[in-house]
Amino acid sequence: MKSLSLILSLLIIFSCSNQSLVHQEKENIVYQSEDLIVEKLSDHIYQHISYLKTNDFGKVDCNGLILVDENEAIVLDTPADAESSVELIQFLQNQNIKIKAVVATHFHEDCIGGLDEFHKRNIPSYANEMTIEKLKNESINIPQNGFQKELTLEIGNKKIFLNYFGGGHTQDNIVAYYPDEKILFGGCLIKEVGAGKGNLEDANEAEWPETVANLKEKYPEIQTIIPGHGKRGGTELLDYTINLFKP
């Protein structure tokens, strides 16, 4: 009887905790439509979620990040298409936030799908030089400014570091680190815990574990990680990704 009571008590506690977490996540949402969700993670960080329609994986949720300081913003990856990118731009404009730059973390559609909407508004874009090379024959959504290994961007008094550590999900994939809040936007280089390998069409599986290990060594102080798809977490996402692609 005591065991039954204990089990019931634990179930109630778990249920309440889970409901509290869901409620907290809903409270974080500051914008929501059929195509776009924006969550406020802190005074300086927003996560945007849009949706990519694919033949192999169906409707896929795609994460991006917005870093803000002194009413200036850097957008990491565009929403998946032009329409949801316009929504995001309008949302930030309504908050009196000026978009200083947009960054594409690799050449796939879930990173660059709305890039031209930013260009139409004279917002400069940045990417790995390999990303620009891969997109050079496209008619739209080509990043304007390239770099090789590392680039530092600034908003207000804050710095954001863009880094290339090697191949993984694609050969050109980069990450962005915001040291003031110890948050990493890993993009599709980093998997959520429990995820499968996903789209490997342009992947370098042999290099992937070492690339993430190099990232982990460079920024050992990381606390929060946003993957390209799925739930955010801590450094367990790095370890999971390394182990997922180990030979």
pTM: 0.88
Number of continuous H segments (helices) and E segments (strands) in the chain: 7, 13
**The predicted structure's pLDDT at residue 22:** 38
**Residue ranges of the chain whose pLDDT lies below 70:** 1-27
The residues, ordered by sequence, that sit 6+ positions from 135 with a Cβ below 8 Å of its Cβ are 107, 112, 141, 142, 143
Residue span of the structural domain in which 105 resides: 32-245
Q: What is the 3-state secondary structure (H, E, C) of 21-80?
A: HHHHHHHHEEEECCCEEEEEEECCEEEEEEEEEECCCEEEEEEEEEEEECCEEEEECCCC
**The predicted structure's pLDDT at residue 35:** 95
**The predicted structure's pLDDT at residue 25:** 54
Distance CA 219, CA 166 (A): 15
Is 141 inside a domain boundary? yes
Reported in sequence order, the residue ranges of the chain that DSSP labels E, i.e. its strands, are 29-32, 36-42, 45-54, 58-69, 72-76, 98-103, 125-128, 145-147, 150-155, 158-163, 175-178, 183-187, 224-227
DSSP secondary structure code for residue 180 in this structure: G
**The predicted structure's pLDDT at residue 10:** 34
pLDDT single digits (tens) 217-246: 999 999 999 999 999 999 999 999 999 999
User: Domain count of the chain?
Assistant: 1
Is 54 inside a domain boundary? yes
**The predicted structure's pLDDT at residue 55:** 76
Is 3 inside a domain boundary? no
Is 176 inside a domain boundary? yes
Q: How many Cβ atoms from other residues are within 10 Å of residue 224's Cβ?
A: 18
CATH of the domain at 161: 3.60.15.10
Is 27 inside a domain boundary? no
